Structure 1
C-alpha cells in the first residue's frame, strides 16, 4: 500500500491553553508508535508539573528541557528548584542546555558592535515562521537532549514545543546531535496551532 492514515490535531490558537491536550495527544501517539520517551520544554516548571501529572502512571519516560542559567537574568535559573528536586526523585530527567539554534549567535546578532544574522538563527526563524514556533522548540529540545546524552539518536521520540508558555505543538522526531543537524528528521507533526 505504501501509506498510512493517522490523526493530526490543529489547535485554533497557539498558547498555554493547549498544554494538557498537547501532552495527552503526545502520549497517545507515543503509545500508537511504541515510543518510550517524551520531551517537554519548561521554563519555570509549570509545564513540567502539568506533564508529570498527565503522564504519571504511564510507561513514558519524561525528559524536561529547561532554559540555561542566565537566559533572562545573569546567574538565575528560572525553573523552580524545589519542583526540580521532586521531579527528579520521581524519575523525571531534567536537563538544561544552551539553545543550539541561537546560543552564542544571539550575542553577536544582538550586539551593537557586531551585528548580522547567522545561519543558525535563520534555521530557527524559518521553523518558527513557516510551520510553528513550537516546532522550532521541539527540534531544539531534541538536539539539546541528544547532545547531553538524555536520549539516544536511534529511536524516535515525541517532542513538544510551545509558543510563549505551555505547549501547543507535538512532533515525532528521529533525533540527532547538533553537529549532525541534518540527520534529524521531523517524521510527524501530530498537533500544532493552525493560526500563528
Structure 2
C-alpha cells in the first residue's frame, strides 16, 4: 500500500507551476519513477522543469504541439526554450497531437467528437496528461508499461500531475492512471 498526500487547487493556473513541479519530483523519487513528462506550449514551463530537475536523475520529456496548431505555419514552441531544455538534460517532443483533433479546432466547430469521447473515457482535466504520454510512447521516448509522471496545466503553467502506466496512441485506452499528485 502506498500512502501519499495529494494536492488539490481550487482554480488552475500558472501560480501553481512551481508547487506542481516540486511535488512531482518528490513523488518520482519516493515512488522510484524515472521519467517525468511535462506539457508545454511555448516551452516556458518546460524550461522551469528542466532547471528544477537538472541533476535529479529523472528523465524529463517536454511535450509541445506540432507545427501548425492552432495556427497554420506557426510553431508555438520557442527554439531558445528547446535549446535550453536540452542543455539542461531534458528532451523535447513536438509530435502530432493524437486526441486534440486539429482540423475540427481550426474550423471553429467547437468540441470535436474525439475530444468529447476522450474527456469521457479518460477523465476530465487529464486529457493532456494522457495525450503527451501517447506522443512520447509513439516517438520511442518511453515504452508501453513504463510508470511515468505526467504534468499538464490549465492553459498556461502546470497544475495537474498524476502517475500513469504508459501506452502508445493505438492503445491509448491502455494508459492507466495510478494516482494523482
Where does structure 1 lack aligned partners over 5 or more consecutive residues? 191-196
Structure 2 Cα separation of the partners of residues 109 and 84 of structure 1: 26
Does structure 1 residue 107 correspond to structure 2 residue 98?
no
- Which structure would you say has the larger RCO, counting Cα contacts within 8 Å and 6 or more residues apart? 1
TM-score (norm 2): 0.90
The superposition leaves residues 61-104 of structure 1 with CA deviations (integer Å, 9 ceiling, x where unpaired) of 1100011111132211111102212322332110102221123x
Shift of 1:187: 0.7
- Residue 42 of structure 2 contacts residue 76 of structure 2 at CA under 8 Å; is this kept in 1? yes
Equivalent residue, structure 1, for 2:79? 81
Matches within 5 A, 1:109-124: 111=107, 117-118=112-113, 120-124=114-118
Does structure 1 residue 164 correspond to structure 2 residue 160?
no
Matches within 5 A, 1:1-196: 3-103=1-101, 106-108=102-104, 111=107, 117-118=112-113, 120-126=114-120, 131-132=124-125, 135-190=126-181
Shift of 1:183: 1.4
Structure with max Cα Rg: 1
- Residue 129 of structure 2 contacts residue 152 of structure 2 at CA under 8 Å; is this kept in 1? yes
- What is the root-mean-square deviation in Å for CA atoms of aligned residues? 2.3
TM-score (norm 1): 0.83
Structure 2 Cα separation of the partners of residues 81 and 116 of structure 1: 30
Moved more, 65-74 or 156-165: 65-74
Shift of 1:6: 1.7
Structure 2 Cα separation of the partners of residues 126 and 145 of structure 1: 22
Q: What secondary structure sits across from 1:38 in the alignment?
A: strand
Moved more, 93-102 or 171-180: 93-102
Where does structure 2 lack aligned partners over 5 or more consecutive residues? none
